Homo-oligomer: A and B are copies of this chain.
Amino acid sequence: MPNQQQVQLDRVFHALGDPTRRAVLRRLSSGPAGVSELARPFRMALPSFTQHLGVLEECGLVRSRKTGRVRTYHLVPKPLKAAEKWMTEQLALWETRLDQLDGYLMQMKEKEE
């Protein structure tokens, strides 16, 4: 896998490893929103919250647009799709492996009987 894709995966998984950031993504799936609306459900100082938004924006999961004095955030599905693709591939490999293991255990059992 090219190095840039690796770095992108690092960032996306890192961004997903936090409940506040996952909650923000969930909220944005019902439509774009401004910082104060996004921050409302969390007991957190605004600078800490905007850091979370920064992490999400850096890895490409969200983008923001400034209209006048209001900055609005919206989702970008592509990086999540890439990360999900990695996971699906891994699970397919793992399941093949587990099937092989099952087959091996069955053979061992048959030999014993």
**Which residues of A come within 8 Å of B, CB atoms?**
6, 9-14, 16-19, 22, 25-26, 29-31, 75, 77, 80-81, 83-84, 86-88, 90-91, 93-98
- A81 proximity list for chain B (CB < 8 A): 91
- A11, B17: Cα distance in complex, Å: 7
Are the CB atoms of A19 and B29 closer together than 8 Å? no
- A25, B80: Cα distance in complex, Å: 20
Are the CB atoms of A18 and B10 closer together than 8 Å? yes
The complex is assembled from copies of this chain, and their number is 2
- A31 proximity list for chain B (CB < 8 A): 97
- A95, B88: Cα distance in complex, Å: 18
- A97, B32: Cα distance in complex, Å: 10
- A97, B6: Cα distance in complex, Å: 28
A36 to chain B, nearest CB (A): 21
- A19, B4: Cα distance in complex, Å: 11
